[in-house]
Amino acid sequence: MLIAQLSDPHIRPEGVLYQGVANSNRMFNEALAHVHALDRCPDLLLITGDLVDEGRPEEYAMVRELLAATRIPFLVIPGNHDHRENFRAAFGDQPYLPREGPLHWCVEDHPVRLIGLDSCPTGKHHGHIDAQGLAWLARTLAQDTVRPTVLMLHHPPFMSGIPYMDTYRYMEVQQLEDVVRAAPNVELVLCGHVHRTMLRRWAGTVVCTCPSTTTEIDLQLAPEAPPQSHIGPRGCMLHLWDKAHGMVSHVSHIGAFEGPYGFA
């Protein structure tokens, strides 16, 4: 099974630029074209939050217009820039999304079980899942402790070292870690939010963050570093699952580069 992961497209209304500088709609369209042009078509597309920038209905209408071109089934979770109820309305045709409450879900239709988590407290930018959500996750994980499982949540549950991102990190991580550590079959935890690729061993598994399809948040580790981003390099993640060999993840850069050349 090949899973493509896109994240943080920050779609705007038609003709409006993200942060006044980036054509996030065109860039997301290019990311979708990139995924469809791979030499192996993904079986599933995951989008790990911040589908839009301001949570507005017209932004979600644009997301659905862009996604209408994909031939690949997709699953979505919200990010801190999303508006839960507008998100729910825009994706009301997606049967896995709950009709009320936080947007936690579980999909069992693939060789890998997929669990989406809503880590976005209303009106806040940091990440958190309340006690009811953690109890739901614990029950869902306990229903099958053998089948390979992938978790998705927007906020990575660790400190990145980038000061202006860690202000909006996932808070109170230990409770979530305890639930995940009790599940021996969690292959990966997939996140967005940080607009960069990061890896960390956590809770007995591996957390992997996905680049944004729009901008890359700069890697600055000084405590006083000001927020800063660049347009590019952009990318997506590809997660290849094989029953014999398990899961391997790749970064796939979006864009035109010199080559190909006849060597490896």
For range 106-135, the mean pLDDT: 97
pLDDT tier at 232, thresholds 50, 70, 90: confident
- Segment 10-60, tens digit of pLDDT: 999 999 999 999 999 999 999 999 999 999 999 999 999 999 999 999 999
pLDDT at 179: 98
pLDDT on residue 233: 84
Q: Tokens for 218?
A: 């700069």
Strands (E) in the chain, as ranges, are 2-6, 44-48, 74-77, 105-107, 113-116, 149-152, 186-191, 199-202, 205-209, 216-217, 229-230, 234-242, 246-254
Instruction: Please state, in angstroms and rounded to a whole number, the distance separating the CA atoms of residues 181 and 44.
Output: 26
Banded model confidence at residue 114, pLDDT cuts 50, 70, 90: very high
Rounded (10°) angle between helices 173-181 and 131-142: 10
Ranges of each domain in the chain: 2-254
pLDDT at 213: 98
Task: Give the number of C-alpha atoms closer than 13 A to the C-alpha of residue 139, restricted to the C-beta side.
Answer: 9
DSSP 177: H
Mean pLDDT along residues 140-156: 97
**What gap in Å lies between CA 120 and CA 250, rounded to an integer?**
27
pTM as predicted:
0.96
pLDDT of residue 246: 94
pLDDT in tens, 54-91: 999 999 999 999 999 999 999 999 999 999 999 999 99
For the beta carbon of residue 160, count every other beta carbon within 10 angstroms.
19
| In the predicted structure, residue 99 carries a pLDDT above the cut 90 | yes
What φ, ψ does residue 244 adopt, rounded to 5°?
-80, -30
What integer best gives the mean pLDDT of the chain? 97
CA distances to 30, 129, 197 from 257, in Å = 15, 41, 20
**What per-residue confidence (pLDDT) applies to 153?**
98
Distance CA 230, CA 220 (A): 12
Express as a percent the part of the chain with pLDDT over 70: 100
The arithmetic mean of pLDDT across residues 184-203, rounded, is 97
- Sorted by sequence, the CB contacts under 8 Å of residue 230 that are 6+ apart come out as 215, 216, 218
The CA distances from residue 47 to 4, 9, 23, 39, 145, in Å, are 9, 9, 18, 21, 25
pLDDT (average), residues 242-248: 95
Third-level CATH fold of 2-254:
Purple Acid Phosphatase; chain A, domain 2 (3.60.21)
Residue pair 117/151 in contact by the 8 Å Cβ criterion:
yes
